[in-house]
Structure 1
Amino acid sequence: MILVQANDIRKAYGTDVILDGTSIVVQDRERVGLIGVNGAGKSTLLKIIAGEMTHDSGTVHIGRETTVGYLAQHSQIDSEATIWDEMVSVYADIKQLESKMRELEQKMAEPSVYENEKLFQQHSEQYARLTQEFTDQNGYAVDAKVRSILHGLDFPEPMHGRLVNSLSGGQKTRLLLGKHLLTQPNLLILDEPTNYLDIRTLTWLEDYLKNYPGALLMVSHDRYFLDSLITVIYEMERGRTRRWKGNYSDFLDQKAADLEQHMKRFDQQQAEIAKLEDFIQRNIARATTTKRAQSRRKLLDKIDRIDRPMLSTEQAHFSFNIDRQSGNEVLTVDNVALGYGEKVLSRNISLNVYRGERIALIGPNGIGKTTLLKAINQKLDPLAGRLKLGTNVSVGYFTQQQEDLTASKSILNEVWDAFPNLDLTRVRTVLGNFLFSGDDVTKPISSLSGGERSRVALAKLMLQNANFLILDEPTNHLDLLSKEVLENALDNYPGTLLFISHDRYFVNRLATRVVELSEDGVASYLGNYDDFVEKVEELAAEKREQEALLAASTKAKNSATDAPLDDAQARRQADKEQKRIEKKRLERLAKVEARIAELEELMAAIEADLCLPEVFSDHELAARKNDELLTAKTELDALLEEWAELEAAGE
């Protein structure tokens, strides 16, 4: 069943044509992703479909029974209600039913009613009807649904009584998203729903939307999100759309194959045209061959010419280099606490960063990730502890909000003032690489979009040639093509990276280590995002197994203790179970102790190697040895904790 169909939509602002013959169809339960570069008209099309904006021509047909929910990029709730009351307002009719039920319960408890048989019977029948209606509408599950959505969107229970208007802009957007999820329209339109979400919340939303009962139409620059959810891609380019079946990775593969075939057909046709033109030119003037030449000319005129394929949309191109190499130890964070005033966000933070590492810093919103980066860059002081940069370390810092850009300056002056020793030609060339050419460079920073401001900040960062790049959400405001260009540049960067990103695809592509920040310190995981998820799930499974083992052990002990002295069979059964659990504990204990011994020997050998002149004089070899030592230490710490728990279980 078609929920919405937009045909040949045109939208222009004066001479600036945004949509030109755009068409899109969304079927029931489809998951549709709308992609394209910034400025392609994606948000405009969503607004037109949602009825938030008029179009110049074309038609939009929405099914008679289609309900539409629309979350714009910067949607917010303006409400004097509490978070809980605002969310529960979605179920106003059900809550009104519940209120009537409570009123009837009170009435039926009054002596004047329950002593009056006829009146009590009337109230009882009415109460039965309301209860049935309340049950049919799943009223008993309302509070649980609201609580689940709020928890998933990072509104813990202590926050439920806060006023909506006291929330930040990002929190208000998340709350509005939650209301849409509760309402469950059969067409949910989402414009960049992953903005303002940390990785944990983003993962929750992704899992929730996988089971969403309606259709989804969304704009997103999160490739991991698109791959996980989307089944149909609409690509917007030059005001038009093209439909592709599959997720984002499928789209890339299909488009590459389509482009190759298109180019092949174009080249074949061009060769045929050249051959015909050559024959005509050589034979048109000769009496004996002019008829054949004229026949070929008619054939040439009838050819339906294939357009040369557009290889790619214009995109930035740049690279990051370094002026000099840093020492092996790039950064030491020693027992640091972060916060503002008396509010502590995170404490016990200890972290070593080594040359060549690419570390992704992750954790829930508000835990202090950005605060840590500011402390490293001496933008604020830690509440406790020490941060120290290594030898020959030069830092390049990309801030999330581009606070170092001056709103009143032009793009050209913003960059040139930061690097006054460069000549004008060099500055203009760099800006051209970031898609600022001609009169564009005279635009004031204040007039730029988020993506344009990011490109200016990246241009300044590139010119620094720093050997330690610290990046706070560098992919925010960038479209898919720009993200890929940035990834390629950072992938070839010869220095060290420490970055915050909620873009799991970006983390997967670049990270060699994931560091998770919590209230009580950091946990370090070698590898990229997928490796991190796998390790976390593995540790969680081990913890569940240990808890089950301890619970079973306790139960067996209790059973053995509580069994009646004359019940020999029960005692034997309990003893048998206890022996089985003890055997399993001892087997695991032996394995853990053996692995601890192996790791201790390995670490001793590595530490001995690091003292050798041929090792510590070779920076790359020393760095590898340090990485091996860190990996072994991380595993050893986890095993020692498990060993202590297993020992305690046997006492």
Structure 2
Amino acid sequence: MIILQAQGVARSFNGLDLFTGINLAVQTGARVGLVGPNGIGKTTLLEILAGINPPDAGHVTTSKNLSLGYLAQDSGLTGDNTVFNEMLTVFAPVMALETRMHDLEKQLTHDASAAVLAQYDQVQHDFTEQNGYGYRAEIRGVLHGFHFDDTTYDKPIHTLSGGERSRLALAKLLLERHDLIILDEPTNHLDIDTLTWLEGYLRGYPGAILTVSHDQYFLDHVVTEVYELGPTQAVHYTTNYTGYKKQKAENLALEWKAYEKQQEEIAKLQDFIDKNIVRASTTKQAQARRKQLEKMPRLARPAGREKTVHFQFTPATTSGNEVLQVRGATVGYEAAKPMAGPIDFAVNKGDRIAIIGPNGVGKSTLLKSILGQIPFLKGSARFGTGVTTGYYDQDQHQLHWNKTVLAEIWDEHPTMLEKDVRAALAAFLFDAEDITKTVADLSGGQKARLELTKLSLMHDNFLVLDEPTNHLDINSKEVLEEALADFSGTVLFVSHDRYFINSLATSIVALAPTGSTTYLGDWDYYQEKLAETTAEAAADAPAAEAAPAVAATAYSQSKEAQRNHRKLEREVAKWEAELTRLEEAAAAVQTDMAAPAALTDYVKMQELQAKLDAITAATNEAETAWEQAAEALEELES
């Protein structure tokens, strides 16, 4: 069933079309990725689909009563509420049921009428159906997935960092369980562990998902459909990101083949016309060919061979086989608070080594310590013979904010001809207007491309890269992957981009506070080794493995005991209330039997006696039930 549909949607700015004629559909439970180059309008389209802004043309329809949640790029929660209490607001209806249920439990102690019992049963049923007994555990699970432990639960949201507030906004949206969630770059501010957790959570999410992301690995593991947004259409592919790339390349190759074949035919016809139109003996044939050419439906020139970053890294010299040795290193800013250590690994010529680890473990600090910008707390790094090092700084501190783009390059390479500087910048998509801008006025992606331009012109044989894919769109990232794969030198890089790691890394150095571990393979190999290590640990330490299971069983048993305790308390209260009612009823009948009119009315006395006998029998049954419930409650409490 289609729950959201866009038909002929368009948006323009200052009279210029951003996109037109966009058709898109989201089915129940779908997993849809929206891709396209930077500036094509992906965020703008998401805002239209989410109902935040209307389209300039076309329309968006949704199914009746659709619950839709939207997460804007780099958005975050604000306010004075604490972390946990903010998550509780999602479950306000469940909490209201919980309050009502407890109120009814109290009421049952003095009014166990059928009406009250019916109300209680319905409220308890609704409470259970809405995960009333597990919503707090659900909150804790999602918060834990986003690296919020119980020490953060009472923190006011306004005291959190921007990245933490962004993660919290996503956590809240997931807990809201909408029929459709629209996510604009949800992987921003997430480390690899959190990304892995999020992918697993989204795969099991009951609603539909529409997302924009520059994280190809995330798209591969979450989406099953891809829409590629272009200026005049959104092309639909029923596959993940890697499948989309393959299908697109195949389709593009066929389009170019057909286009080039037609161009050859057009050239032949035109050549025949030009040679024969003025000759009396062949003019009729030339005219016929001209009509044929005029009637020919022309194929549009396929896109995809222009406006693409294209560059290479070319080392001016060759290093020795041993490029870098890191031994016994500990990194950090204070000896009393080391970030990670001891760290040991070797880099040899031709290696592409990825450094990974959780946020805050010191990955960037390690690179700066290797380069001598920050001293090691312990240990050392030693470069081999003939190594020349180029560094990409994710914070872009190597750029000069007050210089123009042209001056940023030319000042470091004053002997280059201006046309060569412009050509180098053009390879990274800087046009004539861009190169006159100051660096401070560039976008994040443009700054990243400018730093890569500088790096490519240094011709070093050892590249040390700190998060080089940050701010790059997917196309630019893929060009960077190809350039580094073709690089004849050596690469050491920090990245959280698993697709990039998988495409490039020949080995991985995993950092942890306790030190480093080297894995001789790409990201998928690293994941396999982690799984093997976990399985071996489970086999070698059954007692240690049993502990979490015992804890989980104990927790489950504790919850069951609490439910039984509450149930027995209600049973005792119900029968106590029933006994009180029966006693009052018996007293009323006995009063009627003592009345003078009843004493002289045999028939009336028989009726009252029968009524009293029934009450007595009911009292005996109620006393038996009360005794059983009371004994069970006493045993549970002992």
Under a length normalisation based on structure 1, what TM-score does the superposition of the two structures give? 0.78
Pair 1:496-2:495 in alignment: no
Q: Determine which of 427, 443, 448 is the counterpart of 1:449.
A: 443
Instruction: Measure, in 1, the Cα distance between the counterparts of 2:410 and 2:208.
Output: 49
User: Equivalences for 1:452-463 in 2 at 5 Å?
Assistant: 452-463=446-457
* Partner of residue 477, structure 1: 471
Q: Determine which of 426, 430, 436 is the counterpart of 1:432.
A: 426
Pair 1:322-2:322 in alignment: no
Instruction: Measure, in 2, the Cα distance between the counterparts of 1:319 and 1:288.
Output: 56
Instruction: Measure, in 1, the Cα distance between the counterparts of 2:264 and 2:314.
Output: 43
Instruction: Measure, in 2, the Cα distance between the counterparts of 1:388 and 1:265.
Output: 56
Q: What secondary structure, in the 3-state scheme, does the structure 2 residue paired with 1:249 have?
A: helix
Is the 8 Å Cα contact of residues 32 and 231 (structure 1) preserved in structure 2?
Answer: yes
* Partner of residue 215, structure 2: 222
Q: Indicate how the Cα distance of structure 1 residues 360 and 271 shifts in structure 2: closer, same or farther if over 3 A, else same.
A: closer
Is the 8 Å Cα contact of residues 357 and 511 (structure 2) preserved in structure 1?
Answer: yes
* 1:201 Cα deviation after fit: 1.2
* Partner of residue 376, structure 2: 382
Q: Indicate how the Cα distance of structure 1 residues 271 and 370 shifts in structure 2: closer, same or farther if over 3 A, else same.
A: closer
Instruction: Measure, in 1, the Cα distance between the counterparts of 2:301 and 2:141.
Output: 53
Q: Determine which of 402, 406, 414 is the counterpart of 2:408.
A: 414
Q: Determine which of 537, 547, 565 is the counterpart of 2:541.
A: 547
Instruction: Measure, in 1, the Cα distance between the counterparts of 2:275 and 2:325.
Output: 77
Q: Indicate how the Cα distance of structure 1 residues 386 and 288 shifts in structure 2: closer, same or farther if over 3 A, else same.
A: closer
RMSD over equivalenced CA pairs, Å: 2.6
* 1:459 Cα deviation after fit: 0.9
* 1:226 Cα deviation after fit: 1.8
Q: Indicate how the Cα distance of structure 1 residues 159 and 332 shifts in structure 2: closer, same or farther if over 3 A, else same.
A: farther
Q: Indicate how the Cα distance of structure 1 residues 549 and 399 shifts in structure 2: closer, same or farther if over 3 A, else same.
A: same
User: Equivalences for 1:236-635 in 2 at 5 Å?
Assistant: 236-277=229-270, 294-341=287-334, 342-548=336-542
Instruction: Measure, in 1, the Cα distance between the counterparts of 2:488 and 2:311.
Output: 14
Is the 8 Å Cα contact of residues 330 and 377 (structure 2) preserved in structure 1?
Answer: yes
* 1:81 Cα deviation after fit: 1.4
Instruction: Measure, in 1, the Cα distance between the counterparts of 2:308 and 2:222.
Output: 27
Pair 1:205-2:198 in alignment: yes
- Shifted more, 465-474 versus 118-127: the winner is 118-127
Instruction: Kindly name which structure, 1 or 2, has the bigger radius of gyration based on alpha carbons.
Output: 2
Instruction: Measure, in 2, the Cα distance between the counterparts of 1:161 and 1:383.
Output: 34
* 1:46 Cα deviation after fit: 0.8
* 1:529 Cα deviation after fit: 0.7
Pair 1:99-2:99 in alignment: yes
* Partner of residue 616, structure 1: none
Q: What secondary structure, in the 3-state scheme, does the structure 2 residue paired with 1:452 have?
A: helix
* 1:451 Cα deviation after fit: 0.9
Q: Which amino acid aligns with 1:394?
A: T
* Partner of residue 49, structure 1: 49
Instruction: Measure, in 1, the Cα distance between the counterparts of 2:244 and 2:380.
Output: 48
Instruction: Measure, in 1, the Cα distance between the counterparts of 2:544 and 2:441.
Output: 62
Instruction: Measure, in 1, the Cα distance between the counterparts of 2:498 and 2:472.
Output: 15
Instruction: Measure, in 1, the Cα distance between the counterparts of 2:113 and 2:401.
Output: 73
- After superposition, the C-alpha distances for 1:530-580 in whole angstroms (9 at most, x for unaligned) are 11111111111111111239999xxxxxxxxxxxxxxxxxxxxxxxxxxxx
Pair 1:180-2:145 in alignment: no
- Shifted more, 293-302 versus 365-374: the winner is 293-302
Q: What secondary structure, in the 3-state scheme, does the structure 1 residue paired with 2:92 have?
A: helix
Instruction: Measure, in 1, the Cα distance between the counterparts of 2:350 and 2:293.
Output: 59
* Partner of residue 5, structure 1: 5
* 1:94 Cα deviation after fit: 0.9
Instruction: Measure, in 1, the Cα distance between the counterparts of 2:285 and 2:493.
Output: 69
Q: Indicate how the Cα distance of structure 1 residues 97 and 272 shifts in structure 2: closer, same or farther if over 3 A, else same.
A: same
Q: What secondary structure, in the 3-state scheme, does the structure 2 residue paired with 1:343 have?
A: coil
Is the 8 Å Cα contact of residues 40 and 239 (structure 1) preserved in structure 2?
Answer: no
Is the 8 Å Cα contact of residues 387 and 462 (structure 2) preserved in structure 1?
Answer: yes
- After superposition, the C-alpha distances for 1:402-434 in whole angstroms (9 at most, x for unaligned) are 122222221112222333443433322211111
* 1:195 Cα deviation after fit: 1.6
Q: Which amino acid aligns with 1:135?
A: T
Instruction: Measure, in 2, the Cα distance between the counterparts of 1:197 and 1:41.
Output: 24
Q: Indicate how the Cα distance of structure 1 residues 312 and 423 shifts in structure 2: closer, same or farther if over 3 A, else same.
A: closer
- Shifted more, 395-404 versus 500-509: the winner is 395-404
Instruction: Measure, in 2, the Cα distance between the counterparts of 1:550 and 1:4.
Output: 49
Instruction: Measure, in 1, the Cα distance between the counterparts of 2:488 and 2:272.
Output: 56
- Shifted more, 263-272 versus 444-453: the winner is 263-272
Instruction: Measure, in 2, the Cα distance between the counterparts of 1:488 and 1:419.
Output: 25
- Shifted more, 244-253 versus 78-87: the winner is 244-253
Q: Which amino acid aligns with 2:24?
A: I
* Partner of residue 147, structure 1: 140
Pair 1:235-2:228 in alignment: yes
Pair 1:64-2:58 in alignment: no
Is the 8 Å Cα contact of residues 11 and 57 (structure 2) preserved in structure 1?
Answer: yes
Instruction: Measure, in 2, the Cα distance between the counterparts of 1:399 and 1:145.
Output: 39
Instruction: Measure, in 2, the Cα distance between the counterparts of 1:386 and 1:449.
Output: 37
* Partner of residue 597, structure 2: none
Size of the aligned set, in residue pairs, is 545
Q: Indicate how the Cα distance of structure 1 residues 292 and 333 shifts in structure 2: closer, same or farther if over 3 A, else same.
A: closer
Is the 8 Å Cα contact of residues 19 and 230 (structure 2) preserved in structure 1?
Answer: no
Q: Determine which of 154, 159, 166 is the counterpart of 1:161.
A: 154
Instruction: Measure, in 2, the Cα distance between the counterparts of 1:18 and 1:151.
Output: 40
* 1:276 Cα deviation after fit: 4.6
Instruction: Measure, in 2, the Cα distance between the counterparts of 1:439 and 1:269.
Output: 36
Is the 8 Å Cα contact of residues 256 and 302 (structure 2) preserved in structure 1?
Answer: yes
Is the 8 Å Cα contact of residues 388 and 462 (structure 2) preserved in structure 1?
Answer: yes
Pair 1:24-2:24 in alignment: yes
Q: Which amino acid aligns with 1:477?
A: H
Q: Which amino acid aligns with 2:167?
A: R
Instruction: Measure, in 2, the Cα distance between the counterparts of 1:175 and 1:90.
Output: 13
Is the 8 Å Cα contact of residues 17 and 239 (structure 1) preserved in structure 2?
Answer: no
Q: Indicate how the Cα distance of structure 1 residues 288 and 493 shifts in structure 2: closer, same or farther if over 3 A, else same.
A: closer
Q: Which amino acid aligns with 2:196?
A: T
Is the 8 Å Cα contact of residues 341 and 516 (structure 2) preserved in structure 1?
Answer: no
* 1:173 Cα deviation after fit: 1.2
Instruction: Measure, in 1, the Cα distance between the counterparts of 2:44 and 2:431.
Output: 26
* 1:272 Cα deviation after fit: 4.2
* Partner of residue 558, structure 1: none
Q: What secondary structure, in the 3-state scheme, does the structure 1 residue paired with 2:435 have?
A: helix
- Shifted more, 220-229 versus 348-357: the winner is 348-357
Q: What secondary structure, in the 3-state scheme, does the structure 2 residue paired with 1:176 have?
A: helix
Is the 8 Å Cα contact of residues 174 and 196 (structure 1) preserved in structure 2?
Answer: yes
* 1:133 Cα deviation after fit: 2.1
Q: What secondary structure, in the 3-state scheme, does the structure 2 residue paired with 1:393 have?
A: coil
Q: Indicate how the Cα distance of structure 1 residues 345 and 271 shifts in structure 2: closer, same or farther if over 3 A, else same.
A: closer
Q: Which amino acid aligns with 2:213?
A: S
* 1:140 Cα deviation after fit: 1.0
Is the 8 Å Cα contact of residues 41 and 239 (structure 1) preserved in structure 2?
Answer: no
Instruction: Measure, in 1, the Cα distance between the counterparts of 2:348 and 2:260.
Output: 51
Instruction: Measure, in 2, the Cα distance between the counterparts of 1:149 and 1:21.
Output: 39
Q: Which amino acid aligns with 2:4?
A: V
- After superposition, the C-alpha distances for 1:147-192 in whole angstroms (9 at most, x for unaligned) are 1111112222322222222222122111111111111212211111
Instruction: Measure, in 2, the Cα distance between the counterparts of 1:551 and 1:354.
Output: 39
* 1:76 Cα deviation after fit: 0.9
* Partner of residue 38, structure 2: 38
* 1:123 Cα deviation after fit: 6.6
- After superposition, the C-alpha distances for 1:578-599 in whole angstroms (9 at most, x for unaligned) are xxxxxxxxxxxxxxxxxxxxxx
Is the 8 Å Cα contact of residues 84 and 161 (structure 1) preserved in structure 2?
Answer: yes
* 1:379 Cα deviation after fit: 2.9
Q: Indicate how the Cα distance of structure 1 residues 292 and 447 shifts in structure 2: closer, same or farther if over 3 A, else same.
A: same
